[in-house]
Amino acid sequence: MQLTTQNLNNVYQTADQMRRLVETYFTDLGPWLCVPFIYFYRFVCNLPYIADPKNVEFVSRPALTANPAFKIARDCDDKAVLLASWCQGHDRKKRFVASSTKPTGRLHHVFLQLDTGLFCDATYPKNTDYLGEYPYFKKVTRIVPLTEFF
C-alpha cells in the first residue's frame, strides 16, 4: 500500500482529507463491516494511541489504522476515520467535529458525531464507556463542526 502526502495547513483541510479517506477507502474494513458498531467502537478505542510525528499532520487510510502492527501514527483523526468508515459502510450519516480544552480555544482534537447527535470519541481506551456522550465537556472551551453530515 502506497502512502501519499499532502500539506494540511488547518483543521478544515484535515477534515476534508479525512472525509476523502472515508469515502474512498471504507471497504478497507472488510470483515469489520459485519460486526455491530459497539464492538467495532471498543476495538478502535483499544488500538494503541500513537501521536503524529512532530510537525507533521498524518491521516492514514482505514487499513493502516486498523492494523495493530502499524506504528507510524494513530491519533484522534485516524481513529475518527475508522469509525466514520464503519458508518459509511452502513449508510449512517456522520460528521467530524473538533474541540479545544485550551484557554485560547485552539482546536486540537477531532472526533465523530452521528446525525442522531451521539458523539463517538475512540481516541483512548478509557472512552469505551462514553459511546454517545463526550466525556470532556466540562473542560471544553470550543467545539466546532468541521464537515457537514455526509
pLDDT, one tens digit for every residue, the chain (150 residues): 545 555 667 899 999 999 999 999 999 999 999 999 999 999 999 999 999 988 888 899 999 999 999 999 999 999 999 999 999 999 999 999 999 999 999 999 999 999 999 999 999 888 888 887 776 677 899 999 999 999
* C-alpha to C-alpha distance for 56 and 65, rounded to whole angstroms: 16
Q: Measuring CA to CA, which residue among 46, 68, 70 is closest to residue 60?
A: 70
Give the global pTM: 0.92
